[in-house]
Amino acid sequence: MSLLQAHAGLAGKNAVLIGGATGIGRAIALKLAEAGVNIASCDKDAQGAADIVAEVEAHGVSILSAVANVLNVAALDSFFDQVEARFDHVDILVNIAGGTGRGPFVEATREYDAEMIRLNYSYVLDSTRRIVPLIRKSGHGGTIVNFTTIEAHRGAAGYSVYAGAKAAVTNFTRSVAVELGKEAIRINVIAPDTSPSVGYGKRGGDEAARMARFASITPEQRAQSTAMYIPMQEAPGVDDLANTVLFLVSDLAKCITGQVIHVDGGTSASLGFIDWPFGDGHGPSPQPESIDRLFGGVG
């Protein structure tokens, strides 16, 4: 066991993942399994939920992998009943499932609003309420990680309902961290920006068409445009997000609670500053001499 593993104190713990079968969730499940953590996961993706079993068990830990859509209150409740039957206590909860479409707020329906709020916020309340009694049974506290987004930290045109729901997750996380601090139950929230994932390619509204257009540019053009937006010039991958979860749920983070951790390669720090080409450098807009070259003689 390495020094880091010894200090992380994760081996033998029990974790519950909401959305732990594919993409970011799968990466988190596998990192935790590698660290010796037993897993209970629910996911709407039945194939992914079946496939993850052998991958987790290969690390010598156990897994309960259920199919449940968080939009279905009864299905999520039934998953937590299974968790209670499986584990005598839980140490870790990670609420990963979430997602959005894109489009004008005024054209959306009440049904769409309700779905977005359930998918990105309300189920997190249900899941947290169900896990706390199970964490209390550990006798030594425990930890929860939620997922918000950069869109909860800026005016995100086209994503208004999602942005509002995710901002609620952020302040819910801070508030519960204060409520549960004296019980050594830590709760933090991760804010990704642009991380290619399963859900990322399946967003509704006009997002799919936008992404298809983006996919039609050359790899060099894509790298150049990414470099303009992301200070570290590369989008974090699912393993980068999973590594952050691993740190937050480990004893290495034992004094960290109520915090938002941006895993975005620096985009939240640059806050709208773009690294413009032609040597213009960072700023909210390119230098006047570059505008013709960029926008083809506008004006």
Which residues of the shown chain bind ligand NAD in the complex (CB under 6 A)? 19, 21-25, 43-45, 48, 69-71, 96-99, 119, 147, 149, 192-195, 197-200
Instruction: Closer to ligand NAD by CB, 96 or 176: give it.
Output: 96
Q: How far is the CB of 71 from ligand NAD (least distance, A)?
A: 5
CB of 76 to ligand NAD, least distance (A): 8
Q: Which is nearer to ligand NAD, 30 or 138 (CB)?
A: 30
Closest distance of CB 133 from ligand NAD, Å: 22
Q: Which CB, 27 or 134, lies closer to ligand NAD?
A: 27
Comparison of 18 and 135: residue with beta carbon closer to ligand NAD: 18
CB of 73 to ligand NAD, least distance (A): 12
List Cβ neighbours of 26 (8 Å cut-off, separation of 6 or more): 20, 48, 52, 55, 238
Tell me how far, at minimum, the Cβ of 192 lies from ligand NAD, in Å: 4
State the nearest-atom distance from the C-beta of 244 to ligand NAD, in Å.
11
Q: Which residue has the tokens 């506290």?
A: 141
In angstroms, what is the minimal distance from the CB of 82 to ligand NAD? Answer: 15
Shorter beta-carbon distance to ligand NAD: residue 138 or 230: 230
* 138 or 188: CB nearest ligand NAD: 188
SS (HEC) of the chain: CCHHHHHHCCCCCEEEEECCCCHHHHHHHHHHHHCCCEEEEEECCHHHHHHHHHHHHCCCCCEEEEECCCCCHHHHHHHHHHHHHHCCCCCEEEECCCCCCCCCHHHCCHHHHHHHHHHHHHHHHHHHHHHHHHHHCCCCCEEEEEECCHHHCCCCCCCHHHHHHHHHHHHHHHHHHHHHHHHCEEEEEEEECCCCCCHHHHCCCCHHHHHHHHHCCCHHHHHHHHHHHCCCCCCCCHHHHHHHHHHHHCHHHCCCCCCEEEECCCHHHHCCCEEECCCCEEECCCCHHHHHHHHCCCC
Residue placing its CB nearer to ligand NAD in the complex, 45 or 91: 45
